[in-house]
Amino acid sequence: MAPTITVGDSIPSGTFSYIAYAPELEDASACGIPTKLSTDEWKGKKVVLFSVPGAFTPTCHVNHLPPYLQKYDEFKAKGVDVIAVIAANDAFVMSGWARAVGLKDKIVALSDPEAKWSKSIGLDKDLSAIGFGTRTDRYAIILDDLKVKYVAVEPGSGVSVSGADAVLAAL
């Protein structure tokens, strides 16, 4: 699916839920309390968003998310204020995934329930055929003061144009 948002566009307003990192969450029995994050909070910031169809799924868990964490310092050196991973999973699952891979406060794990925000930019995906329902597509967006500077959607099931290396090269 081609995105309905393109380079130069301003992103639509949206609200995600997430559980902010706190040291108490190092205890696997802690759940945390979901809170809201509005895209409006990114005004004046350089933001890298990348989206995965599902937390803990093979490609997302092994090939997509880890390079962003490994190259965190490179993103910061290029002036990135916020790195966020988006999926249609709920905030508790996203928090569990963030803890499992050690994101701490480096990458924000945002829940886009039913891929509502992703759908608003043409980047949702119907995975009902495999029992997943509506999910976010696999994509990456670079924002500068809420304006799209880069948007890329994976053409297949791999990670290339939405991966950390491609996004770093586009910064």
What are the phi and psi torsion angles at 135 (to 5°)?
Answer: -130, 175
As a whole number of angstroms, the distance between CA 68 and CA 65 comes to 6
Local structure of 126: helix, strand or coil: strand
Q: Of 49, 55, 60, 101, which is the active-site residue?
A: 60
Map tokens 């902010």 to a residue.
20
Say whether 31 is catalytic. Answer: no
The tokens describing 35, both together, are 């809170």
Per-residue DSSP letter, 59: I
Q: What is the set of active-site residues?
A: 60
